[in-house]
Structure 1
Amino acid sequence: MKELLTNIINCTLCKEHLPLEPKPILRAHKDSKIVLIGQAPGRVVHKSGIDWDDQSGKQLRKWLGVSEETFYRDKNFAILPMAFCYPGKAKTGDLPPRKECAPQWHQSVIDHFESDPLYILIGSYACKYYLEGKENLTHRVKNYHHYLPQYFPIPHPSPVNRFWRSKNPWFETETVPQLQQLIKNKLS
């Protein structure tokens, strides 16, 4: 696993398409219990080099019901974004993740897990890549139990996504407690 992660960290596959120098951000351990598959690092995370080190990360940890200490222990959580580098700024939020990363690297990382991790699919890009069918994000999140025990789809915790959250209050009142219980069980 260490050699594979080193190869990914040194990847320059899409260098010419990035607004900043490649800086792949991910982490994993062969014994990771939970794999977070999100979109791509934002500008703040690109600058710090620490995954989920932004407002989205604070909200994600709240939804997961875990402390920073628990979250940043790689035997607990692996971070495997759809794209490993900051893709650039869009009109609202960031550009979509580059399409080269997931097909190039994801399966190789997944093949190195020795445990049977839970994959939390964060946002529409991860859901579209990993889940079959044409359902939209809201349908998938509302019907998360159909994807268990392997996958648990959730919306992206970005502040930009506040409108989705205000239109779907059931997510935080009904789904988040279920997610937190699953996380608690998986980490114990």
Structure 2
Amino acid sequence: MSSLFEQRLMQARACRMCEAHLPLGPRPVLQMAPAARIMIIGQAPGLRVHETGIPWNDPSGDTLRHWLQLSKEQFYNPELLAIMPMGFCYPGRGKSGDLPPRPECAPAWHEPLLEVLPNIELTLLIGQYAQRRYLGRQYKTLTETVRHWREFSPTCLPLPHPSPRNRYWLAKNPWFEQEELPILRQRVHQVLAGSSFKP
């Protein structure tokens, strides 16, 4: 690992910028290495992820790994996948689920970390917060953004959140599993096949 990469990753993991707003205190959860080929940008850690310090270590992660057709060993290999949410720390609970990611986090950390990840070939944008920040073209709803996934492929793919709460969305939008998922899986494995760290 380069010293600049190590320095920036250590700084991000030690960040306490939002401490006053975090009910359980800061615990940045992210995974990366300079060799990573795929970047996953989601929302923010949930309670279970906060407690374990392991990204996507919950039912949403199980669904995401199923979507990608990756084992836990592959998914948690930082030489293959980088994971950097919009908010690095658990934001707390709201009236209908977790609160949104803290707005300070992505502007402070994303660009400095992306600068030291030179091998990213595919970015998966999970949920409206990541899509709003990283997609040049905006649609009114997450459904419309994900429906237009072809416009952003092959370097970027917008996805719905794999939360169990989204079962209704998946049932209402069968085109996602029929049309986008096969291309997502093909693209993920195509990118990882080019890695020196074989999945």
Between the aligned partners of 2:122 and 2:96, the Cα distance in structure 1 is: 30
Q: Name stretches of at least 5 consecutive residues in structure 1 with no aligned partner.
A: none
Between the aligned partners of 1:132 and 1:187, the Cα distance in structure 2 is: 26
Corresponding residue for 1:141? 146
The partner residue of 1:125 within 125, 129, 135 is 129
Between the aligned partners of 1:112 and 1:175, the Cα distance in structure 2 is: 30
Corresponding residue for 1:156? 161
Q: Give yes or no for contact 1:11–1:24 (8 Å, CA) kept in 2.
A: yes
Corresponding residue for 1:51? 55
Deviation at 1:130, TM superposition (A): 0.6
What is the TM-score with the length of structure 1 in the denominator? 0.97
Question: Is residue 2:71 matched to residue 1:67?
Answer: yes
Corresponding residue for 1:85? 89
Q: Give yes or no for contact 2:39–2:124 (8 Å, CA) kept in 1.
A: yes
Corresponding residue for 2:42? 38
Question: Is residue 2:130 matched to residue 1:114?
Answer: no
Amino acid at match of 1:186: V
Corresponding residue for 2:191? 186
Q: Give yes or no for contact 1:82–1:102 (8 Å, CA) kept in 2.
A: yes
Question: Is residue 2:170 matched to residue 1:165?
Answer: yes
Question: How many residue pairs align between the two structures?
Answer: 188
Q: Give yes or no for contact 1:93–1:160 (8 Å, CA) kept in 2.
A: no
Q: Which moved more, 1:178-187 or 1:107-116?
A: 107-116
Corresponding residue for 1:24? 28
Between the aligned partners of 1:71 and 1:167, the Cα distance in structure 2 is: 28
What is the TM-score with the length of structure 2 in the denominator? 0.92
Deviations 1:63-95 (A, max 9, x none): 011110110000111001000000011222211
Between the aligned partners of 2:150 and 2:137, the Cα distance in structure 1 is: 15
Deviation at 1:151, TM superposition (A): 1.2
Between the aligned partners of 1:148 and 1:168, the Cα distance in structure 2 is: 19
Amino acid at match of 2:107: P
Q: Name stretches of at least 5 consecutive residues in structure 2 with no aligned partner.
A: 194-199
Amino acid at match of 2:112: S
Amino acid at match of 1:164: W
Q: Give yes or no for contact 1:92–1:160 (8 Å, CA) kept in 2.
A: no
Q: Give yes or no for contact 1:5–1:27 (8 Å, CA) kept in 2.
A: no
The partner residue of 1:5 within 6, 9, 17 is 9
Deviations 1:29-52 (A, max 9, x none): 111110000000000000011000
Deviation at 1:27, TM superposition (A): 1.1
State the 4+ residue runs in structure 1 displaced beyond 6 angstroms.
none
Deviation at 1:126, TM superposition (A): 0.4
